[in-house]
Amino acid sequence: METKVTKSDEEWRRSLTPEKYAVLRQAGTEHPFTGELLHNKADGTYHCGACGAELFSSQAKYDSGSGWPSFTEPAEADNVQLIEDWSHGMHRTEVRCASCGSHLGHVFDDGPGPTGQRYCMNSLALDFQAGDTSGTEAR
């Protein structure tokens, strides 16, 4: 899938807070147990903190105990991009927003439920919109 939202590094730097820029555009990781959305249990949808694309439903969110917001699956498989990541001496699967290419977190195969997946996301990479989760892009 091609990236739809393209901005220069300077544009991203201007449009994001330094904290969000470090995670979304520099693949940083927030400190565990610090994210505003970690304990958010409200109904709604989680969107890319950079471009606003819908990424996760609150229905897929669960408490993994890892210290980062965790989801069993994305709202739409096509909305995220999975990339092999060999950085920091580990072999992981990086998760990026398919619309803008921003870094969101990693996915691990130690999750619960039918998918067995744990989408381990940075709270700083997500924007939460409260509301109905039964339809797509519900307002």
* Contacts with Fe ion, residue ranges (CB under 5 A): 48, 50-51, 53, 97, 99-100, 102
Bridge partners, residue 130, by sequence: 44
Catalytic: which of 48, 51, 100, 120?
120
Tokens, residue 111: 């999750």
Starting at the edge strand that comes first in sequence, how are the strands of the sheet with 126-130 ordered? 54-57, 44-48, 126-130
Coil/strand/helix, residue 11: helix
User: Do residues 47 and 39 make contact, with C-beta atoms less than 8 angstroms apart?
Assistant: no
Overall size of the chain counted in residues? 139
Q: Is 97 designated active site? A: no
- CB-nearer residue toward Fe ion: 101 or 111: 101
- CB-nearer residue toward Fe ion: 25 or 118: 25
- CB-nearer residue toward Fe ion: 89 or 126: 126
Cβ 107 to Fe ion shortest distance, Å: 16
Cβ 47 to Fe ion shortest distance, Å: 8
Residues taking part in catalysis:
120
